[in-house]
Amino acid sequence: MPATHPELHAVTWPAPRWVRAVYTTRRGGVSDEPFAAQNLAAHVGDDLGAVRDNRAALRTALGLAREPAWLAQVHGTTVVHAEAVGVPPPEADASVTSVPGLACAVLVADCLPVLFCDRAGARVAAAHAGWRGLAAGVLEAAVDGLGVAPASVSAWLGPAIGAERFEVGPEVRAAFVDHDPAAAADFRAGAGDRWHADLYALARRRLAALGVGQVHGGGECTASDPERWFSHRRDGRTGRMAALIWIDPR
């Protein structure tokens, strides 16, 4: 039976009214454990029929005439135009578009989803920023892909794993600190050689260095709330939420 009530949250930020941005939780779909219930990812081992039903229900709830531009995410920095996305999806971690009614989308379960729009509301983008992509420059690539001055760009940071739960090795800290020594402030020492990494702070730092005018959101911890969020770090085999942005054609 198709899912009919995906749980959706509208992004709250000062974007033009015709720019629509939402994110999902794990609630409201038809997938069984360990993907219960609103899993939107086709690559995690879930029943593909359930994924199709969940995606169809999401598209209906959002009133989208076209399928969102789903990506095959690989923790890289490749940015594609959403209008060129097809089946199978391209290996990429961000998409941009100026086409009304076409949603850029990223899937997450601890990694940081970042949505972008320009001041005019004429171009939008979505990026998947795990620590590897963040360190490699996926946010910089997404902003560059928008093709506008960074000072005219607004960004929104969606639900991701918080610093208390995101313990990493010294190689992760080095990947950021070697690029920008000031990023050391975004790591707190843990046990032994481990560090607690603040993805939100690291993303804000990279965006500030670009000159992005406004950054909103941040603060949720996917690993700390199993009722609302999928978390790969917490559960291992699990589903994925989505963050989507598009220009309303109406």
Total domain count for the chain? 1
Lowest mean per-residue pLDDT among 3-17, 119-133, 214-228: 3-17
User: For residue 3, is it within any domain?
Assistant: no
Alpha carbons 12 and 217: distance in angstroms, whole number: 8
Alpha carbons 75 and 128: distance in angstroms, whole number: 7
The amino acid at residue 55 is R
CB-CB neighbours of 138 under 10 Å: 28
CATH number at residue 96: 3.60.140.10
Phi, psi of 216 (to 5 degrees): -125, 170
Alpha carbons 180 and 168: distance in angstroms, whole number: 18
pLDDT at residue 250, rounded to an integer = 76
User: For residue 1, is it within any domain?
Assistant: no
Contact between residue 176 and residue 135 where contact means Cβ atoms under 8 Å apart: yes
**What domain range includes position 139?**
8-247
pLDDT in tens, 55-89: 999 999 999 999 999 999 999 999 999 999 999 99
User: For residue 134, is it within any domain?
Assistant: yes
pLDDT in tens, 187-230: 999 999 999 999 999 999 999 999 998 999 998 999 999 999 99
Residue 2 has pLDDT above 70, yes or no: no
pLDDT at residue 69, rounded to an integer = 98
Phi, psi of 134 (to 5 degrees): -60, -45
Query: Can you give the pTM of this predicted structure?
Result: 0.96
Give the model's confidence band at 5: pLDDT under 50 very low, under 70 low, under 90 confident, else very high. Answer: confident
Local structure of 237: helix, strand or coil: coil
The amino acid at residue 81 is H
User: For residue 17, is it within any domain?
Assistant: yes
